[in-house]
Amino acid sequence: MSIIEVNSLTKGYRVHKKKAGIKGSLSGLIKREYQYVEAVKNVSFQVEEGEILGIVGQNGAGKTTTMKMLSGLLYPDAGEARILNWIPWERKKEFLTNISFLMGQKGQLLWDIPAMDSFFLYKEIYDLKEESFRQTIKELSKMLEVEHLLSVPVRNLSLGERMKMEIIAAVLHSPKLLFLDEPTIGLDLTTQKKMRSFLNIQNHRNGTTMVLTSHYMKDITSLCSRIIIISQGEIIFDDKIEKIRHMYQADRVVNVRFAKMVDEAFLKKYHESIKEKKELQYTFQVKQEDVNEFVREISLLMPVDFSIGEQPIEDIIEKIYRRDIE
Ligand SMILES: Nc1ncnc2c1ncn2[C@@H]1O[C@H](COP(=O)(O)OP(=O)(O)O)[C@@H](O)[C@H]1O
Ligand SMILES: [Mg+2]
């Protein structure tokens, strides 16, 4: 059963058009001119129960606007969305108790009080049972290694510690659906990894459905089975991640280790395909259909060790953005 059903969702913003210079700002005071920015255009997709969907796209592509509509924070201009049978922007209580929205840039927790005090507040709001509430806090804070920080005012926590508290707050009421808008932004690698494994556990154990945006491709590849690529407000790709390689003629990465120093003149022909070199170790990017011929030619030059790998998924996605914009 689809838990999210989105149909031709569209949203624009009216923004104040600024003319250049001081004269511009003066005339702006007298007669305001507006410009319409189409942030999300005709977006349609579904999400199945238990799925983790990644939404990727460049800055300004419309990811946050989409998430805000789906979590009921914004009204669309046109289109429909149904989440667990509710219309998000009606913001019915049952809807709100079944979802959670975590934004990496904007915390929910009160700044001046310890996270634990905010958790108590959530306990009242969501009407959670004392015992299971305590059990959940204990378990989640242990998992994220923040048990000793529960009574520290949030303002005194590091960004990573704060985000861990934010995620506990987000899942405290066991939402069926979790929206995560750049949840790992600015976090160090260890904390990012911890957050990812936490989310994976939530998904596996409780079957929590998630919609996630992130600029860190590692978040996407290690969490999401499926991605939507959005460019200038429109969906340009929606499928399993592994499909990308087939659809967009991904290149291969060939790592070559030469037996001795190479005379660059020999490699002239391949100059364009060299991605990296470090002493005897070269990395080439080669079209899939040319790999065999490439390896044959290179090994004619001199003895080599080589391995063939796949092009990183982020490179392919970037190629897709570029192609779309051009
Ligand atoms: N509150 C707002 N007022 C005016 N324009 C906005 C507002 N929020 C977003 N936009 C514009 O809408 C477009 C999509 O933004 P956003 O959804 O935040 O993209 P993303 O999350 O993919 O970076 C951008 O052009 C952005 O400048
Ligand atoms: Mg955004």
Cα separation, 238 vs 117, in Å, equals 41
| Ligand 1 near 87 CB (within 6 A) | no
| Ligand 1 near 214 CB (within 6 A) | no
Contacts 24+ apart (CB under 8 A), 263-272: 266/301, 270/294, 270/298
Cα separation, 152 vs 162, in Å, equals 10
Q: What are the sequence ranges of the domains in the chain?
A: 2-245, 251-310
Q: What is the pLDDT of residue 42?
A: 97
| Ligand 1 near 160 CB (within 6 A) | no
Q: Whose CA is nearest to atom 7 of ligand 1?
A: 13
pTM: 0.86
Q: What is the pLDDT of residue 28?
A: 55
| Ligand 1 atom having least distance to the Cα of 233 | 14
Cα separation, 316 vs 295, in Å, equals 22
Distance 303 CA to ligand 2 centre (A): 49
62: left (phi over 0), alpha (psi -120 to 50) or beta: left
Mutate to test the pocket of ligand 1, among 65, 70, 229, 317 (most ligand atoms within 8 A of CB): 65
Architecture of domain 251-310: 2-Layer Sandwich (3.30)
CA nearest neighbour of 165 among 137, 200, 205, 132: 137
Q: What is the pLDDT of residue 152?
A: 97
Asked if residues 236 and 56 have their Cβ atoms less than 8 Å apart, the reply is no
Q: Could you list which residues have their CB under 5 Å from ion ligand 2? A: 63-64
Architecture of domain 2-245: 3-Layer(aba) Sandwich (3.40)
| Ligand 1 atom having least distance to the Cα of 230 | 22
Q: What is the pLDDT of residue 68?
A: 97
Distance 107 CA to ligand 2 centre (A): 14
Q: What is the pLDDT of residue 31?
A: 67
| Ligand 1 near 201 CB (within 6 A) | no
Per-residue pLDDT of the chain (326 residues; tens, 9 = 90+): 799 999 999 999 998 876 666 665 565 566 677 889 999 999 999 999 999 999 999 999 999 999 999 999 999 999 999 999 999 999 999 999 999 999 998 889 999 999 999 999 999 999 999 999 999 999 999 999 999 999 999 999 999 999 999 999 999 999 999 999 999 999 999 999 999 999 999 999 999 999 999 999 999 999 999 999 999 999 999 999 888 877 776 788 999 998 888 777 778 888 888 888 888 899 999 888 888 888 888 888 778 888 888 878 888 888 888 877 77
Q: Whose CA is nearest to atom 6 of ligand 1?
A: 13
CA-based R_g, the chain, Å: 25
